[in-house]
Amino acid sequence: MSFVFADLFAGIGGFRIALESIGGECAFSSEWDKYAQMTYKANFGDVPLGDITQIEPSSIPDIDILTAGFPCQPFSSIGKREGFEHPTQGTLFYDVVKILKEKKPKAFILENVEGLVTHDSGKTLKIILDTLSVSINGQYLFLSQPDVRYHVFWSILDAKDYGVPQVRKRIFIVGISEDVSRDVPSFTFPSPNKNKEYIGSYVEENIMGYSISKHLQDSYLFKLD
Tell me the residue type at 15: F
Smallest CA-to-CA distance from 32 within 13, 16, 10, 15 is with 10
Instruction: Clarify whether 72 is annotated catalytic.
Output: yes
Q: State the Cα–Cα distance between residues 130 and 113, nearest whole angstrom.
A: 19
Distance CA 66, CA 64 (A): 7
Distance CA 151, CA 107 (A): 9
Marked catalytic residue, from 6, 72, 128, 148 = 72
Closest-CA residue to 135 (of 124, 125, 146):
146
Region of 163 please: left (phi>0), alpha (psi -120 to 50) or beta: left
Q: Residues with catalytic annotation? A: 72
